[in-house]
Amino acid sequence: MRVPRLPSRGTVAAPPLDREDLPGGPPPELLERRRELATRFSELQWDLGGLAYEMARRASYRLELLNRRAAELQEVDAELGELDRLLRLGDAGAAGTCTACGAPHSRDAVFCWSCGTPLRATVALAGANGAGGAVR
């Protein structure tokens, strides 16, 4: 029985974006960030698999360590997914970055997908009769 060969470290990455989905060309800083995240995702996935294998080989599991590494992988995966979504939306999608954590957000976002910080400020407007109201 032939055993399939595993890819060398760093070759597993997120699927490439279809360039037809990106009208007018994406911002280079978003593409660079996506490349960094895809590389980081690949490394974390590789490391988590190796860690789980070594723990199984030694019959000594440390679930808190596995959970911590898996949570880190999930965070990178979530940011990579959000970045892919922004890139697919093109110019209409990217509106800026969160002031608290720097994560990119879309125009319609009310809260940061990464840290939960409100993105739209509440503005108090004074009415003609002196009563104020909050408008978003």
Query: Which H or E run contains 135?
Result: strand 132-135
Answer yes or no: is 7 within a domain.
no
pLDDT tens by residue, 34-75: 999 999 999 999 999 999 999 999 999 999 999 999 999 999
Answer yes or no: is 124 within a domain.
yes
Which tokens is 77 given? 């995966």
Residue 55 sits in which domain range?
A: 26-135
pLDDT tens by residue, 61-70: 999 999 999 9
Answer yes or no: is 21 within a domain.
no
Answer yes or no: is 8 within a domain.
no
Q: Tell me how many domains the chain contains.
A: 1
pLDDT tens by residue, 83-115: 888 887 765 555 677 888 888 777 777 888 788
Instruction: Confirm if 76 and 41 have CB atoms less than 8 A apart.
Output: yes
Cα–Cα distance for residue pair 17/20, rounded to 1 Å: 9
DSSP labels, 70-130:
HHHHHHHHHHHHHHHHHHHHGGGTEEEE-TTT--EEETT-SB-TTT--B-S--EEEE-TTS
